[in-house]
């Protein structure tokens, strides 16, 4: 028959602290794996975003070039129409009956010639714009090719690291998830909040050399005694981290070697005289 899991709220403070420290150990291992990956995930994301931006830019330039070519085609059609009108008006001038008709046809010819000149000017401007945009398009396409090469390299590096650490990370995450179920929700929430606010991701630390293992500020003797008693949850008054004694954390600290007190010079002299 399976043993029924103990209710987290019914656990002793010592059991709660022990579970918390075990959880911290697993989460620290996960943090080390993330550190091993370094900035690669962010670099991959940045490259993907840059490629997406360049691709959008390329599509925009290509659409602009198509629009400019369409404009050139329309203007060339207008020039053909105007040229045909000019030829017709010149032919009509041979059969004018009075100065009024002559002046009217002459104005029409001038108007059509101005229209031809304007369209030719706009065509030259469009051709120049197409030339510039074609160069810009080539530069953007070259940049995309370079970024995709960089992305493939970074992805390959990331996949290699992930493949090496994936099994270990999944195992740690599963174990930490199961351990969280054995911790009181309010205590777990406080622990996670402390972890988020700490630079090194430590939410619970043990006492080291009479100081907090997180911020290394000295801990008064009475407070150290309270920590060793394991009767209540105690946090560092400086950094807010939960504190436990080294023994509960399973850490053996080397005891400092006590030096024998030196004999005073006066006592040594007296001993010599005797």
* DSSP structure string for 156-185: HHHHHHHHHHHHHHHHHHHHHHHHHTTS-H
CA distances to 218, 249, 252 from 225, rounded to whole Å, are: 13, 16, 18
Residue 95 host element (H or E): none
Question: Smallest Cα–Cα separation from 22: which of 177, 219, 223, 212?
Answer: 177
Asked whether the beta carbons of 96 and 107 are under 8 A apart, the reply is no
pTM of the model: 0.55
Q: How far apart are CA 207 and CA 216, in angstroms?
A: 9
Residue 206 host element (H or E): strand 204-206
Q: 3-state class of 84 per DSSP?
A: helix
Q: 3-state class of 130 per DSSP?
A: helix
- Domains of the chain, earliest start first: 10-33+179-249 (1.10.287.1490), 38-166 (1.10.287.1490)
Sign of the torsion angle spanned by Cα atoms 88, 91, 97, 100: positive
Q: How far apart are CA 235 and CA 13, in angstroms?
A: 13
Question: Smallest Cα–Cα separation from 241: which of 173, 194, 186?
Answer: 194
Whose tokens are 């009181």? That residue is: 184
Residue 138 host element (H or E): helix 99-180
> Tokens in use for 76?
């060339």
Whose tokens are 């403070």? That residue is: 13
Q: How far apart are CA 82 and CA 94, in angstroms?
A: 19
List CB contacts of 6: < 8 A, sequence separation 6 or more.
Answer: 15, 182
Instruction: Give pLDDT < 50 ranges for the chain.
Output: 1-2, 256-259
Q: What is the pLDDT of residue 62?
A: 96
Q: How far apart are CA 49 and CA 60, in angstroms?
A: 17
- Expressed in percent and rounded to 5, the helix, strand and coil fractions of the chain are 75, 5, 25
Q: What is the pLDDT of residue 128?
A: 96
Q: How far apart are CA 197 and CA 228, in angstroms?
A: 26
Q: What is the pLDDT of residue 2?
A: 46
Q: What is the pLDDT of residue 265?
A: 52
Question: Smallest Cα–Cα separation from 183: which of 26, 1, 3, 30?
Answer: 26
Q: How far apart are CA 23 and CA 183, in angstroms?
A: 9
């Amino acid at each position: 028959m399976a043993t029924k899991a103990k209710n987290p709220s019914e656990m002793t403070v010592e059991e709660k602290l022990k579970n918390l420290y075990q959880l911290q150990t697993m989460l620290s291992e996960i943090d080390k794996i993330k550190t091993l990956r370094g900035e690669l995930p962010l670099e991959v994301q940045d490259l993907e975003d840059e490629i997406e931006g360049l691709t959008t830019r390329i599509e925009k330039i290509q659409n602009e070039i198509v629009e400019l070519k369409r404009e050139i085609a329309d203007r060339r059609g207008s020039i053909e129409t105007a040229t045909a009108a000019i030829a017709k008006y010149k032919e009509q001038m041979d059969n004018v009956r009075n100065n009024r008709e002559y002046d009217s046809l002459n104005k029409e010819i001038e108007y059509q010639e101005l229209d031809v000149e304007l369209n030719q000017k706009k065509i030259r401007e469009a051709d120049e714009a197409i030339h510039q945009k074609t160069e810009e398009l080539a530069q953007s396409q070259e940049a995309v090719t370079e970024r995709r090469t960089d992305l493939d390299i970074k992805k390959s590096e990331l996949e290699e690291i992930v493949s090496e650490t994936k099994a270990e990370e999944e195992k740690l995450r599963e174990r930490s998830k199961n351990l969280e179920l054995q911790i009181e929700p309010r205590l777990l929430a406080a622990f996670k909040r402390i972890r988020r606010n700490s630079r090194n991701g430590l939410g619970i630390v043990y006492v080291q050399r009479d100081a907090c293992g997180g911020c290394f500020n000295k801990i008064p003797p009475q407070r150290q005694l309270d920590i060793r008693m394991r009767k209540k949850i105690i946090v560092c008054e400086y950094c807010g981290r939960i504190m436990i004694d080294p023994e509960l954390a399973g850490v053996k600290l080397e005891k400092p070697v006590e030096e024998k007190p030196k004999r005073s010079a006066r006592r040594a002299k007296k001993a010599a005289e005797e």
